[in-house]
Amino acid sequence: MNWLDICALEEINVLGSRIVDGPKGDIAIFRTSNDEVFALDDRCPHKGGPLSQGLIYGKRVACPLHNWQIDLESGEALAPDVGCSHKYPVKVEGGRVLLALKTLSDCA
């Protein structure tokens, strides 16, 4: 896997996010309250709202446009909504946030 160094962990607010200029569109990087990091396409499966701008709680983000709840781990919308945002492998090593973009081509 081709890990890319994105930024330092502390450059993302706790319960906050940053946007990475991905090759196929924006990627949202989220940081939870216990410093876990997740990466999803910055598009809500509902109407394309920028998930990076949503409110984060637990391992979920609430879309800023219509309050769909998206699971950060899977990218899936919570019932009753149905839909999925593509997820990217991401990890924290030595205080740096690493993102794998290679798999983008594997997903549809």
Partner 1 sequence: MKKLKLVMVGNGMAGVRTLEELLKLAPDLYDITVFGAEPHPNYNRILLSPVLAGEQTFEEIVLNDLAWYQDNGIDLRLGRKVVDVDRRKRVVIADDGSSAEYDRLLIATGSNPFILPVPGNKLDGVIGYRDIADTEMMMATAKTHSHAVVIGGGLLGLEAANGLKMRGMDVTVVHLADWLLERQLDKTAGKLLQSALEARGIKFRLNTVTDELMDNGEGRVCAVQFKDGDVIPADLVVMAAGIRPNTELAEKAGIPCNRGILVNDTMQTYDPRVYSIGECANHRGIAYGLVAPLFEQAKVCANHLAQLGFARYQGSVTSTKLKVTGIDLFSAGDFMGSEGTETITLSDPIGGVYKKLVIKNDILVGGCLYGDTADGGWYFRQIKENANISEIRDHLMFGESALGDVGHQGQSSAANMPDSMEVCGCNGVCKGTIVKAIQENGLFSVDDVKKHTKAASSCGSCAGLVEQILISTVGGAADVKPKSEKAVCGCTELNHGQVRKLIREKHLTSLKQTMGELGWTSPDGCATCRPALNYYLISTWPGEAKDDPQSRLINERAHANIQKDGTYSVVPRMWGGVTNPSELRRIADVADKYNVPMVKVTGGQRIDLLGIKKEDLPGVWKDLDMASGHAYGKSIRTVKTCVGSEFCRFGTQNSTQLGIDLEHDLFNMWSPHKVKLAVSGCPRNCAEAGIKDVGIIGVDSGFEMYIGGNGGIKTEVAEFFVKVKTAEEVREYNAAFLQLYREEAFYLERTVHYMQRVGMDHIKKAVLEDEANRKALAARLQYALSFEQDPWKERIETPVLKKEFDRIPVVAVEEAAV
Residues that bind partner 1 (CB under 8 A): 2-7, 11, 13-16, 18-23, 26, 29, 32-33, 47-50, 53-58, 62, 64-67, 69, 79-81, 99, 101
Residue 106 C-beta: closest distance to partner 1, Å: 18
* Residue 27 to residue 49: CA distance in whole angstroms: 12
Question: Quick one: 27 or 87, whose CB is closer to partner 1?
Answer: 27
Q: Which two tokens stand for residue 31?
A: 């940081």
Residue 4 C-beta: closest distance to partner 1, Å: 5
Residue 107 C-beta: closest distance to partner 1, Å: 18
Q: Which two tokens stand for residue 1?
A: 């896997």
Query: 51 with 42: CB under 8 angstroms?
Result: yes
Question: Quick one: 23 or 108, whose CB is closer to partner 1?
Answer: 23
* Residue 22 to residue 89: CA distance in whole angstroms: 13
* Residue 27 to residue 34: CA distance in whole angstroms: 21
User: Distance from CA of residue 42 to its chain's centroid?
Assistant: 7
Question: Quick one: 81 or 84, whose CB is closer to partner 1?
Answer: 81
Question: Quick one: 50 or 89, whose CB is closer to partner 1?
Answer: 50
